[in-house]
Amino acid sequence: MKVKIKETAKLKKNFSLYRLAQELNLPQQTVYSWARGRTQPSYLNLDRLCNVLDCKIEDLLEAEPFQNKLF
């Protein structure tokens, strides 16, 4: 699952990642790691993101295309 944090923050609240980190009271590095796909937010933090951005979880998550694996 890809998390569209940067796009959703900009669209819903016109927040930068820095401002979003402040609103969540989290280290800036944590939010940047989520936005770059290095780490994934926990379910609790996904809920917090939705509350701060006034959005649904569907707005934050984007399904990645399924890749056929060769066996």
In Å, the largest CA–CA distance within the chain is 46
Q: What contacts 27, CB < 8 A, 6 or more positions away?
A: 21
54: left (phi over 0), alpha (psi -120 to 50) or beta: left
Extents of the domains making up the chain: 2-62
Cβ neighbors of 20 (< 8 A, separation 6 or more) are: 5, 9, 31, 49, 52, 53
Q: Is the pLDDT of residue 2 over 70?
A: yes
pLDDT in tens, 13-24: 999 999 999 999
Instruction: Specify the CATH superfamily of domain 2-62.
Output: lambda repressor-like DNA-binding domains (1.10.260.40)
Predicted TM-score (pTM) of this structure? 0.83
pLDDT tens figures, 18-71:
999 999 999 999 999 999 999 999 999 999 999 999 999 999 987 666 666 565
